[in-house]
Structure 1
Amino acid sequence: MYHIDYLPLLKLHLRVCKFIKCLPFEYDEKSGLVIRTQNSRQVITFKIQSIFSLLYSFATILHVCIGRLTLTERFLGSLFLILDILLTTTRWNYSLDKSPGQIVNSFLQFEKQILEDLPTAPSSLGTKLMKIFIPVATLSLTGIAIFEFLLLLFAPCTPPFLLSMFPTCRQYYANGYLVQCGIRLFESWMQWHMLLSGGTWVIYILFVGIVCLLTYFRVLHSQIAQIKKDQDMDTCIRLYRSIQILEKSFNDFLMVMIVPAMMICSPGIQLIVQYVCINHHKDIAMPGFLVFPTLGLDAGINNVLVFTLASHINIGSEKALQGMKEKVMGLEKRKLMKRQIRACSVLKVKFGSNFIDRGTPLVIQNFCVNQTVALTLIKSRHVAR
């Protein structure tokens, strides 16, 4: 449940975001809701950071695509380029849209008003794993920023960071100019607020939303199993419709930018991390190298666990509808109930005009493994020559 398992984490995360002013939202203790902040300084700072993120990502794209980099350096830079694009996309809210806070509030209100009198469903293995992964993912937002700082400390000329854009980067590093320190601090600050802001709604709407929807379906399945009369069926149909309304608002926010960005960028991050860890682990100094397996672990878990659970929303809704269709036989108002069940649509996590089904994680892993092997073979042939 959101308010028990994840709301304390979200409140702590929002406090950190408020400290560095990277989100225009905060948690209101009086109302128990996520609201848009009334602090004008926080709003202005957030907008400035958003513009900086856009400019920073654009500069990174130019550097990786047309900069004076070797093929190996382009691969190294591509990882951070994809990450920057993902974070800039998921954090972008220059118009201060209230939708993210409203969706979180919808989950909280749903649990208080609709599930309050219903028994708690047991957790599945997937949701138990997500209870571990979500706090780890939240901590990794700061952890990745720290590892990137260490990477810049030991290898400041690593592409696509700002110092690598200077032809005299190694001279700056050798002479220890103050300019290098200033750029390094600026870049670490950029990465930190981009990670915290960009990761907020990915974790606390996409990830947590998937877990909560699956939990609600388990509650619904337990209620369907106890159907004996028309009133029980009516209760189950109303609960399904309530979940359906929640799913609509969930998808309306995510399907346009966040889920498509995750579907494109997360496999890309996993692919590049696999290639770098296999072929270039000796080229990157420790502990800065740790940023690569950290990113790869997050991306891999997302591609396997999160997308698998997302596909279970579709499966769970199909099972719920099928279960109600089977239970409707023998009820007095079965004709009316059948029409009501037919009016309920199957739920799914959408991206664009498509949705995540049970085959999506396998397709992603097949792509990542095949491309990693292909790139490794190309590199080995190049070295052999």
Structure 2
Amino acid sequence: MFNTTFLPHLVRHLKIASYFWSLPLLYDSRTGRIVSRKTRAFYFIYKSELMIHIVYTVFQYIFLLTSNYSVTQKFTGMVFTGLYTTALGLRFSWDHSTISAPVEMMNALITLEEDLMKEIVKYRPSIPDRIMNLLLPLILATAILLPFAFVLVQVQFPCAPPFLGSMLPYCRNGIGIPVWVRIFISGFEFVTFAHVALAASFYLGHALFPGIVCLWNYVNIIGKWRLEQSHRVIQAYRKLKIIELFINQSNQKRIFPSVFIGFPSLQFFTSYVCIRLHDIVEWPAFAMFPLVYVDAFILAVVIFTAAAKVYNNSGELLQNLKASPDFGRKSVLRRNIRAVTSIKIKFGVNFVDSETPLVIQDFCTRTTATFLLISQG
């Protein structure tokens, strides 16, 4: 449930992000709702940070494609560039529409639960709720610790691509980097990735996850109501279809496609580095790659499996309603049930069904295996 599971973690995340001005959102304790920031000074700084993120990511791609670094260094660099690219897709909010859509979705979930909880005597946290209570603190902790990890990599390997140091003439000409330049590079990487990590992890943990997990919970709650109360069930289901619109409006065009493309790409590059380059990449830098692979794999499996469960469970609920005694007796109920469809979590023009998680992991495995065979040949 959003109010009991996600909201406490969301408020904590927004408070930490406010110190870096990395999110255009605030929690209004008076109204109990999420609101957009209003000040021009904030939006100037926020858009400047976002523009730096865009330009830096583009330069990373250009540099990796045109530089004379080895294949090993380019593949390890693509892991970090992939992180920046996926994070850019998750956090990219430039105009009012892209900022307001997640806000409207979160507030819609809060409002729906205030009405839904009136009909529930006692709610017990579900398994997805318990999983999210464990996962959300880990997502925030990772967002806080990753910038420090990037700085440690920079200190030990100042010329490692695709970071800023590798683009400077010092590294390209084999000249030692002055101390003041290394301090500047470390500070730049820390501040930049702190903004990136806090913003991207927020949209992942508090825009994408709630939309899927809360719908899963709502469908399960309604599915346990007595089918003899079919009118009550169908009225509640109609509210879920409205929530579906808010969720897809928030996630369909930007957040979910970023996950759909970004996480499998990270799995591909990190698995190649772990299998093919484990004897070449030095420790402790190598330790980051299996960790990134495991994170991308777990998040992809959890997200797409949960979205598939929403589709399957909502379809089963409608089938049960059609099998209820009232369906054959009441023509109005038949029309109402036939007028609604299964709840679909969309990405782009497609939606997640029961086969999507397997298709994605099969694609990752086949692509990695094919590339390994080609590289050996």
Work out whether the TM-score is over 0.5.
yes
Alignment CA distance shift 1:313-1:171 (3 Å): same
Q: Does 1:291 align with 2:293?
A: no
Letter of the 2:354 counterpart: R
Residues 214-223 or 80-89, more deviating: 80-89
Q: Does 1:43 align with 2:46?
A: no
Residue of structure 1 aligned with 2:366, choices 343, 367, 370: 370
Instruction: Map residues 342-357 of structure 1 onto 2, 5 A cutoff.
Output: 342-357=338-353
Q: Is the 8 A contact 2:344 2:351 kept in 1?
A: yes
SS at match of 2:68: coil
Structure 2 residue aligned with 1:340 = 336
Instruction: Map residues 1-385 of structure 1 onto 2, 5 A cutoff.
Output: 1-96=1-96, 97-119=99-121, 125-169=127-171, 174=176, 176-223=178-225, 226-228=226-228, 232-329=229-326, 334-381=330-377
Q: Is the 8 A contact 1:121 1:219 kept in 2?
A: no
Alignment CA distance shift 1:153-1:221 (3 Å): same
Q: Deviations over 1:233-289 (max 9, x none)?
A: 111111000011001110012111111111111100011111112222344444443
Q: Deviations over 1:309-349 (max 9, x none)?
A: 111111011011111111144775x2110000001122111
Q: Is the 8 A contact 1:60 1:161 kept in 2?
A: yes
Deviation at 1:60, TM superposition (A): 1.0
Deviation at 1:379, TM superposition (A): 4.0
Cα distance in 1 between the residues matched to 2:8 and 2:102:
17
Cα RMSD for the two superposed structures: 2.1
Cα distance in 1 between the residues matched to 2:16 and 2:285:
24
Cα distance in 2 between the residues matched to 1:327 and 1:5:
33
Residues 178-187 or 278-287, more deviating: 278-287
Q: Is the 8 A contact 2:309 2:354 kept in 1?
A: yes
Alignment CA distance shift 1:12-1:330 (3 Å): closer
Letter of the 1:339 counterpart: R
Q: Is the 8 A contact 1:60 1:160 kept in 2?
A: yes
Q: Is the 8 A contact 2:82 2:266 kept in 1?
A: yes
Deviation at 1:172, TM superposition (A): 7.8
Q: Which runs of 4+ in 1 moved over 6 A?
A: 170-173
Cα distance in 1 between the residues matched to 2:318 and 2:43:
44
Cα distance in 2 between the residues matched to 1:56 and 1:370:
31
Cα distance in 2 between the residues matched to 1:285 and 1:149:
17
SS at match of 1:346: coil
Deviation at 1:297, TM superposition (A): 2.1
Cα distance in 1 between the residues matched to 2:65 and 2:121:
55
Q: Is the 8 A contact 1:26 1:34 kept in 2?
A: yes
Q: Is the 8 A contact 1:123 1:215 kept in 2?
A: no
Deviation at 1:211, TM superposition (A): 0.9
Cα distance in 2 between the residues matched to 1:117 and 1:50:
43
Cα distance in 2 between the residues matched to 1:22 and 1:61:
24
Cα distance in 1 between the residues matched to 2:316 and 2:11:
34
Letter of the 1:71 counterpart: V
SS at match of 2:117: coil
Tell me the number of residue pairs that the alignment of Structure 1 and Structure 2 aligns.
375
Cα distance in 2 between the residues matched to 1:298 and 1:119:
37
SS at match of 1:98: helix
Cα distance in 1 between the residues matched to 2:275 and 2:128:
29
Deviation at 1:175, TM superposition (A): 5.2
Letter of the 2:87 counterpart: L
Identical amino acids, percent of aligned pairs: 28
Alignment CA distance shift 1:154-1:28 (3 Å): same
SS at match of 2:140: helix
Cα distance in 2 between the residues matched to 1:359 and 1:126:
20
* TM superposition score normalised by structure 1: 0.91
